[in-house]
Structure 1
Amino acid sequence: MTSKLGSPPPYEDALHHPKYGNYPHQPQHGSPLPPPPSYSPSPGMCPGPPGYWCQEGIYPQAGMWAASGFSPSGMPTTIPSLSAGVPASIPGDMEDFLSTQWESTSIRHAFIRKVYLILAAQLAVTFSVVAVFTFVDPVRQFVIRYPGIYWASFVVYFLVYCILICCKEPRRRFPWNCVLLGIFTLALSYMAGTIASYYETKAVFLAMGITALVCVAVTIFCFQTKVDFTSCGGFLCIAAILLMIIGVVTAIVLSFQYVPWLHMLYAAIGAIVYTLFLVYNTQLLIGNRELAISPEEYIYGALSLYIDIVHIFLFILQISGTVTE
């Protein structure tokens, strides 16, 4: 009797012929036959009895479906993973992301260095002029005797500032940047030196030291704090308008009678407001807040910090001058 390859022999042949071995097992005489295992067709299985594979004629061992880790149909149980169906991430994407982040960070750091180099040059010129107007007595007497030069420098300061802020085209040309920024720095330096010439040398040095401490403290605070001051632009505009109104009222009152405490109060409010402006502009420069300056706007960044620092110096000079009198 012949049988097909892949189909089991009849029960009688397997029982009486030794060539079939003990397949599937030798039942005891008089005992009922064990029920066959349930069969459910699975992919890769032959549509025949359970436990027989269609590939390379390999037969599983008897009782394989009862082993641990296998289903009753004889197929190994597969446990789907969480990443099933999700394509593997491409390593180049992460490298591109990291390189982009590194490039943006390096650009921002180069921008900050450029702004602070320009600011250092401006402050060096300004405080050199202030020192000359303070220590050289003929120059000091000259600027006091001719106040018209002060008002002329104020007009130049205001016009050049409007050009640098409003006209974007000159800011993108390097020679024009240098010329306009140099004129602006000289005009504001002359104004600061003229104001400093009315005060004693001790008051000027005290104002310089306090201004330096304030600038260093504000810079460290802006680089370390998580508080975002760039969202307070509207509040700072209101504060600037109030400062201007208080300044006009103070100038009218002081023109009739000098009141020291009123002068000191106005100077203290002005120093606080411009310190807040310095915090705001420094965080715009850093660029890790809600608002930031473009790396191309290095002129605007240096300009804003320079104006804040000079005004802080002038307001502190008024306070120290009133105290040392």
Structure 2
Amino acid sequence: MSSKTDSPPSYEDALQHPKSNNYPFQTQHGAPLPPPPSYSSSPGACLSPHSYWSQGGVYPQASMCPGAGFSLSAMPIPTLSAGLPASSPGEMDDFFSNQWESTSIRHAFIRKVYLILTVQLAVTFAVVAVFTFVHPVKLFVITYPAIYWASYAVFFFVYCILICCKEPRRRFPLNLVLLGIFTIALSYMAGSVSSYYQTKAVIIAMGITAIVCIAVTVFCFQTKVDFTSCGGLLCIAAVLLMIIGIVTAIVLSFKYVPWLHMLYAAIGAIIYTLFLVYNTQLLIGNRELAISPEEYIYGALSLYVDIVHIFLFILQVSGAATE
């Protein structure tokens, strides 16, 4: 049996002479409970369970830890399956806000490009209609082909500036002025070519071009196939089209072969339709490659050139078919 000295003290003795070393959880009467341990970003700042007992069973006060509150800086942050940090709701809100802002910027960019493209196509097809349906204008264009070559020189010069020089392409209003000159030059060229064909062939070409453009736009916004990763193949196709065009021009200069002319025009229409798909997906921006939202002039220019070339190639096919 243990002695009296080993037995617990009476309540009055405990109040006068507390023995915290023997009874770790004994506190003075009326004193508040010790605060819970405080966490810190420094792993060794607070006591471990082993050091808790080595110091007489007394929890460290909050002032013993340098930082109040638990910090994530010393812990690995778990990530979601998409690689997003799951650190706090605030950071997740910021991420989704940035995603929404990026999407809204892209949508505004697409609307701006298609607005500019609509104006360009309206000007071009208005010129084509005048050169086709107004007989005196049609005769004037055919009589003075030098204006066509002058417009071609302006077209090529401005096109090189807009494609190769970033500063004029992005500086407002210089970019719109250059794009307007380019549109007028290419519209005159398209109208001059249309004046050599029958009215029926021009109308058919306009209708087919509109159907192709609408179908390509809907396809690009719906498909999951990434055509932006096929830029090398499209470059090869463009080189082949150039070679076929040179060979066709040489052959047709000696003897006109309708089926050869139609074949070349059909190949050209198909290749430029693929270019239209490629540039439209660059515009949308949810593929491997994308156009910067600052390049709205470049986006409108690319789509416009593709559509006009599709129209001219289809016009050659329809013109050869209606002869």
C-alpha displacement of 1:213:
0.7
Task: Pick one of 136, 152, 155 that aligns with 1:154.
Answer: 152
Aligned counterpart, 2:25: 55
Query: Whole-Å Cα distance in 2 between the matches of residues 174 and 93 of structure 1?
Result: 36
Query: Whole-Å Cα distance in 2 between the matches of residues 155 and 248 of structure 1?
Result: 20
Code of the residue aligned with 1:210 in structure 2: it is: I
Query: Whole-Å Cα distance in 2 between the matches of residues 130 and 237 of structure 1?
Result: 29
Query: Whole-Å Cα distance in 2 between the matches of residues 272 and 5 of structure 1?
Result: 102
C-alpha displacement of 1:55:
3.2
Aligned counterpart, 2:44: none
Specify the SS of the correspondent of 2:280.
helix
Task: Pick one of 142, 165, 168 that aligns with 1:167.
Answer: 165
Query: Whole-Å Cα distance in 1 between the matches of residues 141 and 299 of structure 2?
Result: 31
Aligned counterpart, 1:251: 249
Aligned counterpart, 1:108: 106
Code of the residue aligned with 2:169 in structure 1: it is: R
Query: Whole-Å Cα distance in 2 between the matches of residues 219 and 89 of structure 1?
Result: 40
Instruction: Work out whether residues 279 and 303 of structure 2, in 8 Å CA contact, stay in contact via their aligned partners in 1.
Output: yes
Aligned counterpart, 1:239: 237
C-alpha displacement of 1:286:
0.6
Structure 1 residue runs of 4+, over 6 Å off? Answer: 85-88
C-alpha displacement of 1:117:
0.5
Query: Whole-Å Cα distance in 2 between the matches of residues 5 and 223 of structure 1?
Result: 85
Aligned counterpart, 1:293: 291
Task: Pick one of 106, 129, 133 that aligns with 2:131.
Answer: 133
Query: Whole-Å Cα distance in 2 between the matches of residues 47 and 236 of structure 1?
Result: 85
Code of the residue aligned with 1:2 in structure 2: it is: K
Unpaired runs of at least 5, structure 2: 10-19, 28-74, 78-85
Aligned counterpart, 2:63: none
Query: Whole-Å Cα distance in 2 between the matches of residues 47 and 179 of structure 1?
Result: 90
Code of the residue aligned with 1:317 in structure 2: it is: L
What do residues 185-239 of structure 1 show as CA deviations (whole Å, max 9, x unaligned)? 0000000000111111111111111101101111111111111111111111111
Instruction: Work out whether residues 283 and 290 of structure 2, in 8 Å CA contact, stay in contact via their aligned partners in 1.
Output: yes
C-alpha displacement of 1:174:
1.1
The TM-score normalised by the length of structure 2 is 0.75
Aligned counterpart, 2:4: 2
Query: Whole-Å Cα distance in 1 between the matches of residues 230 and 276 of structure 2?
Result: 12
Task: Pick one of 85, 88, 94 that aligns with 2:92.
Answer: 94
Specify the SS of the correspondent of 1:174.
coil
C-alpha displacement of 1:3:
6.3
Instruction: Work out whether residues 170 and 297 of structure 2, in 8 Å CA contact, stay in contact via their aligned partners in 1.
Output: no
RMSD over aligned Cα, in angstroms?
2.0
Unpaired runs of at least 5, structure 1: 8-45, 58-84
Alignment of 1:21-32 (within 5 A): none
Specify the SS of the correspondent of 2:288.
coil
Code of the residue aligned with 1:109 in structure 2: it is: H
Query: Whole-Å Cα distance in 1 between the matches of residues 107 and 284 of structure 2?
Result: 8
1:199/1:6 CA distance change after superposition, 3 Å: farther
1:99/1:6 CA distance change after superposition, 3 Å: farther
Query: Whole-Å Cα distance in 2 between the matches of residues 164 and 258 of structure 1?
Result: 37
Aligned counterpart, 1:279: 277
Aligned counterpart, 2:120: 122
Aligned counterpart, 2:177: 179
Aligned counterpart, 2:223: 225
What do residues 141-181 of structure 1 show as CA deviations (whole Å, max 9, x unaligned)? 00011111111111110000001111111122112111100
Larger Rg: 1
What do residues 4-39 of structure 1 show as CA deviations (whole Å, max 9, x unaligned)? 4569xxxxxxxxxxxxxxxxxxxxxxxxxxxxxxxx
Q: How many residues align?
A: 256
Aligned counterpart, 2:209: 211
> Could you tell me the percent identity over the aligned residues?
78
1:6/1:241 CA distance change after superposition, 3 Å: farther
Aligned counterpart, 2:316: 318
Query: Whole-Å Cα distance in 1 between the matches of residues 170 and 124 of structure 2?
Result: 25
